[in-house]
Every structure is written in C-alpha cells, then in structure tokens.
Structure 1
Amino acid sequence: MSAKSTTKPRSTARPAGGQSGRRGRHIVAPSLRIGDGAAASVFAAARLRGPIARDVIAQVTSLSIATVNRQVTALLDAGLLRERADLAVSGAIGRPRVPVEVNHEPFLTLGVHIGARTTSIVAADLFGRTLDVVETPTPRGPQGPALASLAGSAQRYLSRWHRRRALWVGVALGGAVDGGTGYVDHNRLGWTQAPVGPVLAETLGLPVSVAAHVDAMAGAELLLGMRRFALSSNSNSPGSSLYVYARETVGYALVIGGRVHSPVSGPGTIANLPAASELLGGSGRLESTVSDEAVLAAARRLNIIPNDSSGATVTTVLRAARAGDVRARDLLAERARVLGEAVALLRDLLNPDDLVVGGQAFTEYPEGMELVQAAFERRCELPARDIRITAFGNRVQEAGAGIVSLGGLYADPLSAMRRATRSEATA
C-alpha cells in the first residue's frame, strides 16, 4: 500500500469529469458519509435495528409516519427491504404494522483493495458483512496489463456468484486518487494516471467508486465499526474522529460531522512527520522509521532474523518476540513508542472527539497497545484520551474496500439502485 500523497492526479489524459463514454457513466465518486436523506435514514434503521415496524422507524428517525410509509414502499419496490408478516404483532391490522428488514440475500457488492504486494477481492452483503474474500498478488509491470489482470481476476471472481446480483464495485488503494474519474497516481506501483475505475467499469459493467485506502478504512469505522445510527437531520451533528493507519506505510483520515473529509486538493500525508529512533533507524521521518520494511531491516541488523532471509516478514519478528527473544520485544516496543508519539502529535494538532488506530502495525501486536498508549500520554500536551483500536482488526483493508462499494447505497439507496440497474442494462 502507498502513503497518502499531496499530489493530485493530473487532469490531462482522462475524460473530463469522468463522463465520457460508457465507462464514464459507471464511475461514481465514493460516498463515505452518514446519509441524511429520508430513504437513507429509513434504510439505516432497518439495517441497524431490523426487523423493525414503521412506527418505530418514525420514532428513531424523527420522520413523519407518512414519510416513513412512502420511503418503505419505495425501498420495498426497489428490492432493498422485505416485509416480515410472520413477525407482525398479534391482532395488528394493516401493512404499516408489518415489520420490515433488509433484503440482503439477493445482492452483493464487490470490494477490491489494491495493496503494494497483495490485492484482496471481497464480496460483502448489504449489512457490510464479508461473505468471502480471496487474495492474489498485485500484478507488477506496466499499468495497462496490470489493470487488465486485476479486472480479469475480479470478473472471474464475480462469475462464481450465481445466486446473488452484484450491485456495485468499490476500490481502495494508496496514492493520489481522483474519486470523480477513478484515475490514480501510485508511485509504489509505478502507475501514472492509471484508469483504475474505468477499466473495472468496462470489464464488469457495474458502477465503480475508487477511494484512497485510509479514507476507506475511516469510512468503514464510521459506517460499520461503531454501528452508529444518525437519528435525523435535526439531531446533534456527529463529532470529529481521527483515524491513524500504520503498516508498510502510514496515513491518516479525518471524519467531521459524519463524513470522511476529502480535500479537493487531495489528501495530506504524515509520512514525513519527524520521528527519531536509533534502534529502528530510518531517515528521521515517520514512515521510514515505523514501516514493516524498517522493522525488518532493523531485525536483520540485530540478528533477530538472518540477513539472507528474503522471505521473512514482520510475522517472523512477532513470533520471535512471543517466543521470548528480548531483542525482538525491544524492537517492537520501540516501534510502539514512535507510533504513540506520532499519534499524540496529531491529536494535539487536531484535537478530535474520537481517536482510532488501525493497520497491522497496531493490530498484529496487540501486546504493544499499552506501550502505544503510554507513549501517547507522555507526549500529549492535551488531557489524556484513550486510543481506540479499529473494530476490524487485521481485516481493516477488506472492510475499507467493502464500504467503498456500499457507501453509495447507504447514502442514497434509491438513487444507487437506479444507477445499478442502468449500468446493468447497458453492460
């Protein structure tokens, strides 16, 4: 995976606005936010609280019963909800007393997380639950053949799902992502103006959304991780959240008022934040100090792993630490310290209401979280605050890709279904 870049994809060599030709009609900017429309509120109530009666939906959303009835009828017609007559209250008369729930069995969405080394293809249901996931090496070489190979893998995977209708494709990856067109600059993969979205749309014939991978993970935390529910547009606006990611790269995302903040000029980067560690080495910058690559290089210098161990991974270092190797423990403790101090710096700068960390640098070594928290508290100038670890553990990348594929449905379910149907008709 690649760190967030401050470089925005160039506007040349791509269809203006992403709306040229059949492919452009399938590219939809990612929607990583809590939906505030009536249909979104009703669908969220059914998704998070169903089976649920219409009068209860009206209570929890603060919508009028007439509005709820209209939206429920529209969502039933679209196939996104189904009635549960078997759960109706005894003696109740009329359809408004029949509970409804999400009609999840007929549908799936496809998430694709493109990492620097591995690509995950994820099938998710309408609840955001992973139905299945496969991993394949990310193709190397020229971007054209690499994208064609990825699209072919996704197409073969989708062909296995005979009993579910695919509605949407979501792609999460590093680099500089233009969500409006689906074009990406990805230095680590050597991609420049790579038409990630258009190639997948052309191959799969489905709407495609493309998002920066850390934004996607923050979106998963917002929409799935806490299972939060926005009661209505009149309720208090959700607060702010800072999501910090670390593995092979580092990155961050901000959630403000129920929406992942995506600046027009492109995402920022924390790769170059100051970080010093004699044990880990590095260039005095955060990413080169705490990355998996930096940990492995330090482990070789300390003879924790052999110098000729080309196939070694951070898991090798973790096993050594858990087996009692003091050098490995010290190395991982040092990584935890540097990460904790970096999170403290960001917290002091941005002062979010909620603070979440994710990525295998945190989740693969949960023993180190106490050290991260301790370093964070020592470095913070603001009052102490607990750091919350992602709800998705080591599966955060697939959760991020999944929510990019579901975000449009959650934000505006009726419009998303119409778009999915149009795309299917023109495929």
Structure 2
Amino acid sequence: MGNPEPRRGADHNVMREVNRSLVLAVVKEGGRVSRASIARATTLAKPTVSAIVDELIADGLVREVGTGTTATSGGRPPIMLEYNASSQLVLGVHIGARRTTVAVADGSGAESARRQFDTPSGPAGDSLTVIAEKARAVLPAGAELAAVGAVLPGLTDFHRGVCLLAPNLGWRDVPVAELLTAELDAPVHVHNAGQAAAVAENLEGVGGRVDDLALLYAGTGLSAGVLSGGRVLHGTGGTAGEIGHCRVPGGTEPCKCGNVGCLETVASGPALVRFARRAIEGGAHSVLDDLFEATDVAAAARGGDAVAAGAVAEVGRNLGLAASWVVNAYNPAVLVFGGGLAAIADLLLPHMTETSTEFTLGPAGTEIRVSALGPDAEVRGAVLLALQQSETYYRVVFRA
C-alpha cells in the first residue's frame, strides 16, 4: 500500500486561519496600526496582510480610522487600522455553590453587563435552563455570542464539556456544554473554578503574565489551576490540578466526593468550621456560639479567640502542605493563593508559608502571591477563556 497523498488543502486552510489570527492579534494589541507595521510584526508578505485585512474589514472585525504620519522617506500616509471590539460578544458564566454570576464582554474583554443571583437548586438541567434565561436577559437585543465560558466548582472534563462531579452543586456527569449550547446558540467551553481564576490572575491580577503559574483555589473546596507555557493544563481527562481529592494518609473525614480523607476535608472553609466546632465540643472555651461559619471563625481569631486561632493555624498548615504538593509537582514561577479563603490570607499565610517551605523540595524558586482579583477572578476567567476559545489561532494550534 503506497503512502497517502499529503492533505495540502487542509494544511493551506490551517495556515490561512493562523495567519488571519496573527494579523487580528497584532491589530488588537497595537491600538492603531498600519498594514506595513502588521507585516513587520508578523513577517507576513504585504500582499498577504492586505488580503487578510480586507477580509477582516468586510467581517466587521477591523475598521479604518484615518491616516497616519508619512514616513521621512516620503510617500503616501498609511491608512490606520483599529480593532472593532464591539464586533464580538462573549459571555462568562461562573456557577458557584451559592451564587452565580454572568458577564457580557466585548472582544477586548471589557464588560458591558453583569448580573449575580442565587445558584438555582434542583436538577442540573433545570438549573442550567434558569441560568441561560438570566444570561439572555442581560444580552443586547439580537446579540450573537462568539463563545461562552462556563466555570464550575468541581471536576470538569474540558475536552467533552462535562461536569464530572460538583459535590457542592449535587451534579455528576452533567453535559454542561451541550445543554448551554442548546440554550444560548453559541459554543460553550467548560472549566473548573481554579483554572479560570488562574487565567484571570495571570492576565489581569498578580500573575504578571508568567509562562508557568499555579493557583491554589481554596474555599468551599480545594483545587489547583495550572498554566504551563501560558496555557491551561487540562490533562487527558480534563481534570488536572484536582489536588483537593488527593488522599491524606491517616485522614478519616468523609468527603462529598464519596471518598474518605481527601485533602479538602482538612484544607477548606468547611474544615475551618469543623476544627473549631470539635474543639468546642471537646470542652474548649470560645466566643463562637452554636451556629457559625468560616467568616465567624476568622473574626474570632482576629479578636484573640484561642479556639478560632487554632482552627486557622490547622487549616493554614494543611494549605501549606497542599501548596508544597503543587510546587513539587509543577514547579511554577508563581503560586497564587485564591478562592474564598484568600480573603483571610493575612491569617492563613504565615502558617501556610512555613509548612510549604518545610515540605517543598530544594530551591523551587516559586513566589507565593495572594489573589488581587478576589471574588471577580472566576467570572473574569470565564470571560477571558471564552475570548481565547473564540480565537481561531488558539483553536487551530492548541486544540488540533
């Protein structure tokens, strides 16, 4: 049997789409640019650039905005180009255990509308229908979405767009992308909260756009979002970074995932409450009453309550153990501490840093930073991931 003919058509189409995306990226990042400057930045031939620019103008993605300065060598002044951010709309959806946020943004990532509401209870399909209805209510009339980023608090298979398990939502094996695509008539890309927050912190927060970053996402649960070479590390099944469901030797606390002794049972908001409650039940005196939450434990710790301070120290040490695992496994340049517990980073970080330093192998060179975006990280990550997924260059090169 002879060798198959090379697929020249497919290769040509790929290169055409990549070149188009390269040109569009230069226009997006460059403010007002000329065709000649695009050719220099991309090293593409001027006729190729002109043809692509004409196509982008026809599609409404790029517009001409007057003339620039004539070069000292003379000649006609160049026609300047600008990205038309309003030509593209994306939707970011962060489905939290308690609250859901939807945000509409243009092609530059600038938000035009945002709405937050209680996460619907009940069957997953019904909940997603309600979320889609509320999202449509904030979209401009007749708007077409280029992409949707959906972010969930649980294990997600990015490749299939499926929520494998979200214990705090009561979801298992939910085809989120399929259901939301049918509701919103746009491609939907599903990530977990840690992955989304990592992207947002790297592009808009404390990450500084490093190539290798990890975010330890601690709140109701625990996970890690990992960026390798500037891109989200998904893993074969899309669940890379689910450190919260690694088992701690000797752990006996049941986890909502169905296993026992998972790391998130001792390094999360619920763990903070549980440690304090057990100490009180054991006879320790505390200002905490019978009903309290993680925020109450933090407030009591700030006030000098010994039980609360002990719970904070225990959770902090366990988060330090988690941080050391992430650093040893992925060796990121920056480790961001994010999620709901980052709001009390001043209390947790001393314990976390001490333990992480003790168990990290060698001079890892990783700098620990606290989230700058706070509760905005997840929905901003959803928006940014939708933008990335809507770009042909990203889809052709990184998902081929």
Residue 286 in 1 paired to residue 280 in 2?
A: no
C-alpha distance in structure 2 between counterparts of 1:389 and 1:304, whole Å: 29
Report the alpha carbon displacement of residue 329 of structure 1 after superposing the two structures with TM. Answer: 4.4
Which amino acid is the alignment partner of residue 183 of structure 2?
A: T
Instruction: Give the 3 Å change call, closer, same or farther, for CA 327–200 of structure 1 in structure 2.
Output: same
C-alpha distance in structure 1 between counterparts of 2:24 and 2:346, whole Å: 35
Q: Secondary structure at the match of 1:99?
A: strand
Instruction: Tell me what 1:424 maps to.
Output: none
Say which one has the larger Rg.
2
Report the alpha carbon displacement of residue 57 of structure 1 after superposing the two structures with TM. Answer: 3.7
RCO comparison, higher one (Cα < 8 Å, 6+): 1
* Match 2:358 to one of 378, 382, 407: 378
Instruction: Tell me what 1:422 maps to.
Output: none
Whether the 8 Å contact between 2:157 and 2:237 is mirrored in structure 1 is: no
Worse overlay, 124-133 or 325-334: 325-334
Instruction: Tell me what 2:214 maps to.
Output: 242
C-alpha distance in structure 1 between counterparts of 2:104 and 2:263, whole Å: 34
C-alpha distance in structure 1 between counterparts of 2:200 and 2:52, whole Å: 25
Q: Secondary structure at the match of 2:86?
A: coil
Which amino acid is the alignment partner of residue 244 of structure 2?
A: A
Q: What is the aligned residue count?
A: 363
Which amino acid is the alignment partner of residue 22 of structure 2?
A: S
Q: Normalization by structure 2: what TM-score?
A: 0.76
Structure 2 runs not aligned, ≥5 long: 1-16, 281-285
Instruction: Tell me what 2:184 maps to.
Output: 204
Residue 265 in 1 paired to residue 248 in 2?
A: no
Whether the 8 Å contact between 1:277 and 1:289 is mirrored in structure 2 is: no
Aligned residues: CA RMSD: 3.6
C-alpha distance in structure 1 between counterparts of 2:112 and 2:341, whole Å: 26
Whether the 8 Å contact between 1:171 and 1:210 is mirrored in structure 2 is: yes
Q: How does 1:209-358 map to 2 (within 5 A)?
A: 209-221=189-201, 224-225=204-205, 228=209, 239-268=211-240, 269-273=242-246, 285-301=262-278, 302=280, 303-309=286-292, 312=293, 314-323=294-303, 325=305, 327-358=307-338
Instruction: Tell me what 1:51 maps to.
Output: 32
Instruction: Give the 3 Å change call, closer, same or farther, for CA 414–274 of structure 1 in structure 2.
Output: closer
Whether the 8 Å contact between 1:364 and 1:394 is mirrored in structure 2 is: no
Residue 359 in 1 paired to residue 332 in 2?
A: no
Instruction: Tell me what 1:399 maps to.
Output: 380
* Match 2:149 to one of 170, 173, 177: 170
Instruction: Give the 3 Å change call, closer, same or farther, for CA 205–348 of structure 1 in structure 2.
Output: closer
C-alpha distance in structure 1 between counterparts of 2:216 and 2:188, whole Å: 26
Which amino acid is the alignment partner of residue 217 of structure 2?
A: Y
C-alpha distance in structure 1 between counterparts of 2:135 and 2:199, whole Å: 22
Report the alpha carbon displacement of residue 201 of structure 1 after superposing the two structures with TM. Answer: 2.0
Residues 376-410 of structure 1: per-residue CA shift (max 9 Å, x gap): 22322221431233453331111222123212233
Q: How does 1:62-211 map to 2 (within 5 A)?
A: 62-85=43-66, 88-89=68-69, 97-158=78-139, 161-162=140-141, 165-188=144-167, 189-211=169-191
Report the alpha carbon displacement of residue 343 of structure 1 after superposing the two structures with TM. Answer: 0.9
Residues 215-270 of structure 1: per-residue CA shift (max 9 Å, x gap): 33333345555575xxxxxxxxx843333221111112332333222222341431
Report the alpha carbon displacement of residue 75 of structure 1 after superposing the two structures with TM. Answer: 2.7
